[in-house]
Each structure stands twice: as C-alpha cells, then as structure tokens.
C-alpha cells in the first residue's frame, strides 16, 4: 500500500503483503524539500525566571547553543534513529529558539535538502533532540519541566506544500 490509491490516506511503509518496508523513492523527482517542526518546553515559573536571569546558562554551559548543536547532529543522523527514513545529505538546518510567554520556550527547526524524499522526520527529530538537550541541561533546577507538543508546521516539496495548523 502506498500513497492514496483508494482516495483515502494509506500507510506507505508497508509492502503488498503488509510487512514493513522502506518506501522506494527511485522514480521520484529531485526537488528542493523543506520542513519545519517545533517542540515546546514549559518550565515552572521560578525556573523560567532563573534561566532568564542567568542568560540561559546552566552549570552545564550555554543551553541554547548546546541545544542547537545537539539538534543539528540529530537532524543529520535521523536515518539512524528512525528505521525507514532515507539517509539524506542535509543542505540546511536552522534553529530558532524563543520564549513564547513567561514559561514556554519554543524550539523551531527548519531543514532543507534537494532530493527525492521529504525532511519532515529530520525537522521533528531535530526539534525533539534540542528539547531533550534543554531538559537535560535544566533538570537540576526542576524535573517538572514539560516537553510538548512536538509538531510539524509545514513541509514543502517541488509540487506541494502542506501547512499544519
């Protein structure tokens, strides 16, 4: 089962016998493909205030810079984490990390590649790994830090763009 043969969405990572399979992208066109995904971290109010006062530094170092490095490494290694992802030569990976309100830090990861398959899994993996890194660097202050939601915002290939609300 692949794509939307019946007009309804169908799972793409199954072969004709219903067994797990990597999608064959051999016949797809090479196009520029981008995707953006985010992960939110919600901190207890006192912790968020402390992090702002400390310039987003913890005893482990620069929180934002470390999260960007970890997220970028995760983007480049997504195929090692997600079994049916294709290995890609990532051309661009950008992180935007900003406070959304007093307690919520948003990590937005945008990935770009020229290839035959999309990069939404890379964007989701990058945002997730960056969020986990922030958690790791801040957990000494509180274990009540919440991660989520992690979500796709958009993906674009040569022919179509999908925006998720």
Catalytic residue ranges: 136
CA 17 to chain CA mean position, Å: 31
Residue 116 structure tokens: 């035959």
Cα torsion 74, 129, 32, 5: sign: positive
Find where tokens 């310039």 sit: 55
Distances (CA, A) of 34 to 41, 149, 150: 24, 20, 17
Residue 49 structure tokens: 């205030």
């Amino acid at each position: 089962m692949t794509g939307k043969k019946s007009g309804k969405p169908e799972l793409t990572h199954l072969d004709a016998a219903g067994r797990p399979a990597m999608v064959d992208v051999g016949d797809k066109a090479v196009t520029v493909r981008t995707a953006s995904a985010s992960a939110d971290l919600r901190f207890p109010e006192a912790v968020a205030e402390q992090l702002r006062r400390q310039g987003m530094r913890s005893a482990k170092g620069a929180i934002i810079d470390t999260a960007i490095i970890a997220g970028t490494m995760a983007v480049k290694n997504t195929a090692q984490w997600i079994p049916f992802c294709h290995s890609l030569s990532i051309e661009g990976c950008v992180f935007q990390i900003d406070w959304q309100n007093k307690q919520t830090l948003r990590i937005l990861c945008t990935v770009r590649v020229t290839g035959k398959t999309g990069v939404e899994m890379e964007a989701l993996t990058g945002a997730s790994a960056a969020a986990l890194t922030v958690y790791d660097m801040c957990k000494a202050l509180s274990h009540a830090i919440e991660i989520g939601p992690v979500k796709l915002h958009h993906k674009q290939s040569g022919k179509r763009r999908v925006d998720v609300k």
